[in-house]
Amino acid sequence: MTSRLVDGDLQTALLAALGTVRDPELDESIVDLGFVTEATTADGHAHVRLRLPTYFCAPNFAYLMVADAHDAALSVPQIDTVSVVLEEHFAAEEINSGVAAELGFVRSFPGEAGADLTELRANFQRKAHLAAMERACARLLRDGWTIDMLPKARLADLPDGAERRSLLRRRADVGLPLREEALVFVDDAGVAVRPEDAPIRLRFARTVRVSIDGNAHFCRGLLVTRYPESAATQRPRPFTEEGPR
């Protein structure tokens, strides 16, 4: 029999697992966003409670977060059963019971949902990758690269740091290669951007980044407005634009 983690360690492991769950729209950990209000363990059972910035937050994204939290908790060794409870949301009942029964989105809302959320998730992973790619390109530009050189940049050219780590994780999400010789500035399919397209592609990627960041500011602020105590649990959003770069 393997030695068991003591309770405190198990709780830490659970929280770490939940930290890998991201809000797909905001591209940020649900723990850092302050969405997790409870993560406790007892006798091999994990209990997780979640809250969202509004009662009307889109049910599709809410479902993904609850389902991902469920899977993340179950992935922790020594956790055998999990209950995840989303609170104060109009579709909480359907989402909580649907995830608990592992019904999937369509069967959690019989007659109301026409397809699963695979494409929705993939679309937001592509957006998150674009935003991370733009940050990586901005880093290279600060290091002296020019826009017309960017299409030749390889992962090996990116210095170790937040931009590089952020990009690698999102490349993994969308299935792009992580080899050091792989190109940085690519389209969704991994095809190199042509030098003549580089300026407008970079502009568009920046707009994606601005859009996601703005949405995150709004949602973070709304969470604190709705639950003032959440201010203490939110961690600052990385790469924030407030304050000089």
Partner 1 sequence: MYTKNGESYFVVDGHVHFWDGSPANQANIHGTQFIDCFYDYHKNLSPAEWLWPKEKFQKYSEDDLIHDLFEVGYVDKAIFQPTYLTDFYTNGFNTTEQDGAIAEKYPDRFIVNGAWDPRDGDAGLRKLAELAARWNLKGVKLYTAEWRGDSHGWKLSDREAFKYLEKCQELGITNIHVHKGPTIRPLERDAFDVHDVDVAATEFTGLNFIVEHVGLPRLEDFCWIGTQEPNVYGGLAVAMPFIHSRPRYFAQIVGELLYWIGEDKILFASDYAIWQPKWLIEKFVDFEIPADMTEYPELTADVKRKILGLNAAALYDLEVPPGLAAKVPGQPEAEVAVGASS
Per CB under 8 A, does 33 bind partner 1? no
Rounded Cα gap, residues 151 and 107, in angstroms: 44
R_g (Cα) of the chain, nearest Å: 20
Least distance in angstroms from the C-beta of 30 to partner 1: 17
Q: From 34-42, 53-61, 187-195, 231-239, give the range in contact with partner 1 by CB under 8 A.
A: 53-61
**Cβ–Cβ < 8 Å for 47, 40:** yes
Amino acid (one-letter) located at 138 = A
In the 3-class helix/strand/coil scheme, how is the chain assigned residue by residue?
Answer: CCCCCCHHHHHHHHHHHHHCCEECCCCEECCCCCCEEEEEEECCEEEEEECCCCCCCCHHHHHHHHHHHHHHHHCCCCCCEEEEEECCCCCHHHHHHHHHCCCHHHHHCCCCCCCCCHHHHHHHHHHHHHHHHHHHHHHHHHCCCCHHHHHHCEHHHCCCCHHHHHHHHHHHHHCCCCCCCCECCECCCCCECCHHHHHHHHHHHHHHHHHHHHHHHHHHHHHHHHCHHHHHCCCCCCCCCCCCC
Per CB under 8 A, does 148 bind partner 1? no
Per CB under 8 A, does 58 bind partner 1? yes
Least distance in angstroms from the C-beta of 2 to partner 1: 41
Give, as ranges, the residues between 61 and 120 that touch partner 1 (CB under 8 A). Answer: 63, 90-91, 94, 105-106, 108-109, 111-117, 119-120
Per CB under 8 A, does 225 bind partner 1? yes
- Closer residue to partner 1, CB minimum distance, 101 or 156: 101
Least distance in angstroms from the C-beta of 83 to partner 1: 21
In the list 204, 231, 235, 238, the residue contacting partner 1 (rule: CB under 8 A) is: 204
Per CB under 8 A, does 226 bind partner 1? yes
Residue burial 154-169, b: 16+ Cβ < 10 Å; e: rest: ebebbeeeebbebbbb
Least distance in angstroms from the C-beta of 88 to partner 1: 9
- Closer residue to partner 1, CB minimum distance, 177 or 199: 199
In the list 156, 180, 218, 235, the residue contacting partner 1 (rule: CB under 8 A) is: 218
Per CB under 8 A, does 144 bind partner 1? no
Per CB under 8 A, does 231 bind partner 1? no
In the list 29, 224, 237, 239, the residue contacting partner 1 (rule: CB under 8 A) is: 224
Beta-bridge partners for 58: none
Q: From 14-22, 142-150, 173-181, 222-230, give the range in contact with partner 1 by CB under 8 A.
A: 222-230
What residues line the site for partner 1 (CB under 8 A)?
25, 53-60, 63, 90-91, 94, 105-106, 108-109, 111-117, 119-120, 123, 127, 197, 200, 203-204, 206-208, 210-215, 217-218, 221-222, 224-226, 241-245
